[in-house]
């Protein structure tokens, strides 16, 4: 199983709540969009910085839609979409 974990700059520790699982059918898929919401503690994503998604140390194309900020300007909530380059037939993503 692989985890998709949003990170700021380089890898940071996130809790287990952002892990999810998805299994696709018997066809090979490419450019699969994966969208999820993520909350951040004050200061986790300082104003002016964004979030990227890595899988196995490889960066994915990512779109981050900021939804709310903390009083200090840091990101509080975002909807994140990342595109998986490929997922094999019957392969599970976790």
Domain residue extents for the chain? 5-93
How many Å apart are CA 24 and CA 66, to the nearest integer? 28
Summarize pLDDT for 4-39 with one digit per residue, the tens. Answer: 445 444 333 444 444 444 544 566 678 888 899 999
- The stretch 34-54 carries a mean pLDDT of 93
For residue 62, the model assigns a pLDDT of 93
For residue 56, the model assigns a pLDDT of 79
With beta carbons less than 8 A apart as the criterion, state whether 80 and 62 touch: yes
Residue 92 to residues 29, 36, 62, Cα–Cα distance (Å) = 12, 17, 20
pTM for the predicted model, two decimal places: 0.66
């Amino acid at each position: 199983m692989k985890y998709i974990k949003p990170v700021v700059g380089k890898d940071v520790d996130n809790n287990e709540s952002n892990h999810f699982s998805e299994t696709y059918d018997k066809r090979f898929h490419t450019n699969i969009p994966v969208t999820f919401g993520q909350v951040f503690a004050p200061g986790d994503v300082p104003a002016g910085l964004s979030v990227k998604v890595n899988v196995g140390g490889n960066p994915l194309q990512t779109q981050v839609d900021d939804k709310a900020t903390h009083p200090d300007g840091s990101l509080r909530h975002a909807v994140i979409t990342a595109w998986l380059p490929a997922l094999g037939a019957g392969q599970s993503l976790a």
